[in-house]
Chains A and B, each alone.
Chain A
């Protein structure tokens, strides 16, 4: 199945570049380049390391493998952000505000996932744990993106044939497949072989879905027309207004209460004295 999977990824990359989608999705382009570029290098290192004379090259394979793994996780985060922005592209204000919220959610997700990594024995063994936790947090983020797309499709006037929707769907399916397989395998260790088959099939379906979306002719997105009193339009207006950089002086609470009070008393006394002098004269 790995050969079929690699063939699907290669076809997907070819279609992606042929249709010029790298201009609209640069992070996805980086991800596909990483997939296509790192595989021959890793296969070469694996070949060398599995030779009878090649055990000394194991560290090279180890570090390269996990470096590519972590790079994949980071790239996938940017792909998720890119899809999110693409989905909200018709609403400039909401996109800017949403990107900010998205970054905070990503930070919380990363901290929550990396919190499970054991830091009691710092060393090389932490690298796999760190990489797996990072990928897990990105997977959860992809699921959240898919849920967002699904729930906001009508409000954002998205079609399920939209390219960004298709990419979000494929990523979400892959992450759901990963998480479900781990949960089932942990619960039923005796069913590893059939579960492995189902898992691989799930991956192939997800990549094939991605491929179909890439292969289909892209429909021009219609301009979003909505009533001026619609909720999402108002939210977009509010979000747009929030982005304007007008400087406003914010009143700070006074720190030194005593000094402030003395200043006020002195000012009052001076004002009264002045008023008294004016009335006498």
Chain B
């Protein structure tokens, strides 16, 4: 059981680390669901910059 747990966890870590190395620029990222703002529309442009928000 402990071995299965460790294999699962290590797979998640390796997959996450590989994904992080693929997209290293913050432009290729999204609003994280770990944030308290999860689920709300993301205001990508600042006030007076001509665009409002996305829903991602």
B43 surroundings in chain A (CB, below 8 A)? 58, 61-62, 65-66, 128
Instruction: Give chain B's interface residues, CB within 8 Å of chain A.
Output: 1-2, 5-6, 9-10, 12-13, 15-20, 22-49, 52
A6 surroundings in chain B (CB, below 8 A)? 39
B28 surroundings in chain A (CB, below 8 A)? 182, 186
Is A169 interfacial (CB-CB < 8 Å)? Answer: yes
Contact A179 B46 (CB under 8 A): no
Residue from B18, B25, B40 with most neighbouring chain A CB atoms (10 Å)? B40
A108 surroundings in chain B (CB, below 8 A)? none
B30 surroundings in chain A (CB, below 8 A)? 132, 178, 181-182, 185
CB B48 to nearest CB in A, in angstroms, measures 8
CB A37 to nearest CB in B, in angstroms, measures 8
Provide the bound-state CA to CA distance between A175 and B10, in Å: 14
Is A94 interfacial (CB-CB < 8 Å)? Answer: no
Contact B9 A146 (CB under 8 A): yes
Instruction: Give chain A's interface residues, CB within 8 Å of chain B.
Output: 2, 5-6, 31, 34-35, 38-39, 42-43, 46, 58-59, 61-62, 65-66, 68-69, 71-73, 76, 113, 116-117, 123-125, 127-129, 132-133, 135-136, 138-140, 143, 146-147, 149-150, 153, 160, 169, 171-187, 199, 203
Contact A72 B36 (CB under 8 A): yes
Contact A58 B23 (CB under 8 A): no
Provide the bound-state CA to CA distance between A46 and B41, in Å: 8
Decide yes or no: A135 and B32 within 8 Å by CB, A61-B43, A150-B9, A183-B19 being known contacts. yes
Closest 8 CB pairs of A and B: A124-B46, A176-B16, A2-B39, A183-B19, A59-B47, A179-B19, A72-B35, A183-B22
Mostly, the A contact residues are helix
Contact A42 B40 (CB under 8 A): yes
CB B47 to nearest CB in A, in angstroms, measures 4
CB B27 to nearest CB in A, in angstroms, measures 8
Contact B33 A178 (CB under 8 A): yes
Contact A178 B52 (CB under 8 A): no
Provide the bound-state CA to CA distance between A173 and B14, in Å: 11
CB A242 to nearest CB in B, in angstroms, measures 29
B40 surroundings in chain A (CB, below 8 A)? 42-43, 46, 65
Contact B34 A186 (CB under 8 A): no
Contact A176 B52 (CB under 8 A): no
Contact A133 B35 (CB under 8 A): no
Provide the bound-state CA to CA distance between A223 and B40, in Å: 45
Contact A143 B2 (CB under 8 A): no
Our pick among B6, B12, B26, B38 for the contact of A136 (Cβ within 8 Å) is B26
Our pick among A2, A5, A176, A186 for the contact of B22 (Cβ within 8 Å) is A186
Sample of 15 further A-B pairs with CB below 8 A, known A42-B40, A147-B13, A176-B19: A38-B36, A72-B34, A113-B26, A123-B46, A125-B45, A132-B30, A138-B34, A139-B20, A139-B32, A149-B9, A150-B9, A160-B1, A179-B20, A182-B19, A183-B22
